[in-house]
Amino acid sequence: MNRLKIYHSKIEKEYKKLPDTSNRKPRIALRLKIAEGAIKAYEQEYIELPTPELFLARIQGQIAGYTRVIGYENIIELVVKYLKSYHFARKYGTSPPAQLMIMLLGEPGLGKTYISEALAKALGRGYHMIGMNGKPHASLILGTNIENPGAEPGEILKAIFRREDRASVIVFDEIEKALKEAKEAVGIPTNITTNRAFKDDFLDFPTPTNECIFIATVNRPQDVPSFVADRFAVRVEVLPLAYQQRLEVVRVVLQSELKKLAPALEKIYHKHGMDIQEPDNVPETDFIPDLDISGGGEPEIFIEPDIIEPEMPEDDFDIPDINVPDIEITPDIPEVDSADIDKGDHDLPDDDIPTDISEDDNNDYE
């Protein structure tokens, strides 16, 4: 820690000496900012993790400011066991449990990133996600040398200094979709034998990662380098939520969003957001399915009942009988004798036949 403070002072002196026109000064300013965040991250003597009971209370939404997590029981149970071992070691002075590194396996859309963020919040740690999809270079993890124009720190160092937490939850999202160099670089900060001396190329000073909690989300584990996959000794399959659990997730999310809108709704309706009822003029529906989300199994199939027409008295609809006589309609077509029909030449009046046609008139018809 003292070495880091000395290094910080050295960076600060260099920054003050550089003229404002120097193209190196912005990079030194960023290095100075990183060193300040690193000092705050490493100044605590011990990392405090919640007790298993407090963690469960948070993850179940029993404490204000935390949203209940639906499902993922196998992952939550795994973290609870780790916390029990952690606090046992702190209490009795035994060796702490191995660094927590989890590989979450499953198809896209199952909530691997969601549960990772929820775990970080319930543990009271910083959260940082590294999108690995399509990333080609190791500099994503290790940073770039400050001598290069446009140099910047790697994502591991960003997580530590931005969150000011050396035990941040760092997620390598879709690690198998990165290119070879970037995938193999993940094995450096996750190597438990050497990560106490992890050094980012941009800061060029050791920033241990042995207390970080690493999570890798993977769709195709066979595409992850074997030595990187071995770092994540704990592997958990993320299963799809049951139908009732998905309904419960929707309800919890909607309730959470409604709480955010409560101040605005209170100004508009002069009521608390959760107290607003539906308008009185909305007609009631004849059939509302009762969704039971308390138990398991598939949803019930609701069949709309047959609509029975009410019987009306015949007296109210007495229609008199009207006798309409049959009328035969024959078209009035005069009879024509076939002898009157001339099948030969038709005689036209002489006035209708032009006899004197000039040459100019012929041209008009051409």
Please say which residue of 218, 241, 264 terminates a domain.
241
The answer to whether residue 156 is domain-embedded is yes
Same domain, 260 and 178: no
SS3 readout for 55-67: HHHHHCCCCCCCC
- pTM metric for this prediction: 0.70
The answer to whether residue 329 is domain-embedded is no
Same domain, 192 and 265: no
The answer to whether residue 318 is domain-embedded is no
CA 164 – CA 157 distance, rounded (Å): 10
Same domain, 134 and 256: no
CA 202 – CA 258 distance, rounded (Å): 44
Type of residue found at 283: P
The answer to whether residue 92 is domain-embedded is yes
Same domain, 45 and 112: yes
- Following DSSP, what letter does each residue of 175-242 receive, concatenated? GGGS-HHHHHHTTTTT-TTTGGG-B-TTT-SB---TT-EEEEEES-GGGS-HHHHHH--EEEEPPPPP
Same domain, 177 and 201: yes
pLDDT mean values, one per 10 residues, the chain (366 residues): 92 95 95 95 91 97 91 95 96 94 93 94 97 96 94 96 95 96 97 96 96 96 94 92 86 80 79 52 46 46 52 54 56 55 51 51 48
The answer to whether residue 289 is domain-embedded is no
CA 248 – CA 129 distance, rounded (Å): 26
Same domain, 59 and 195: yes
Classify burial at 127, counting beta carbons within 10 Å of its beta carbon; exposed 0-12, middle 13-18, buried 19 or more. buried
| Range 217-250 burial, b when 16+ CB lie within 10 A, else e | bbbeeeebeeebbebbeeebebeebbebeebbbe
Q: Which two tokens stand for residue 198?
A: 């992890």
The answer to whether residue 312 is domain-embedded is no
Note the pLDDT of residue 84: 97
Identify the residue whose tokens are 């927590």: 100
What is the domain-level CATH number for residue 34? 3.40.50.300
CA 158 – CA 78 distance, rounded (Å): 27
Same domain, 119 and 263: no
Same domain, 269 and 196: no
Note the pLDDT of residue 1: 83
Strand, helix or coil for residue 173 = strand
CA 152 – CA 149 distance, rounded (Å): 9
The answer to whether residue 338 is domain-embedded is no
Longest CA pairwise span in the chain (Å): 136
Please say which residue of 198, 226, 241 terminates a domain.
241
Note the pLDDT of residue 258: 82
Same domain, 206 and 259: no
Q: Which of 26, 96, 244, 8 has the alpha carbon at shortest distance from 252?
A: 244
Same domain, 249 and 103: no
Note the pLDDT of residue 365: 45
Number of domains the chain is built from? 2
Same domain, 176 and 261: no
The strand order across the sheet containing 213-218 reads 127-131, 169-173, 213-218, 101-105, 234-237
Note the pLDDT of residue 256: 76
Note the pLDDT of residue 286: 43
Please say which residue of 257, 275, 293 terminates a domain.
275
The answer to whether residue 348 is domain-embedded is no
Note the pLDDT of residue 142: 97
Q: Using an 8 Å Cβ cutoff, are 38 and 207 in contact?
A: yes
Same domain, 270 and 151: no
- Following DSSP, what letter does each residue of 294-308 receive, concatenated? SS-SPPPPP-PPPPP
Q: Where in the sequence is the domain holding 109, given as residue range(s)?
A: 2-241
Q: Using an 8 Å Cβ cutoff, are 218 and 176 in contact?
A: yes
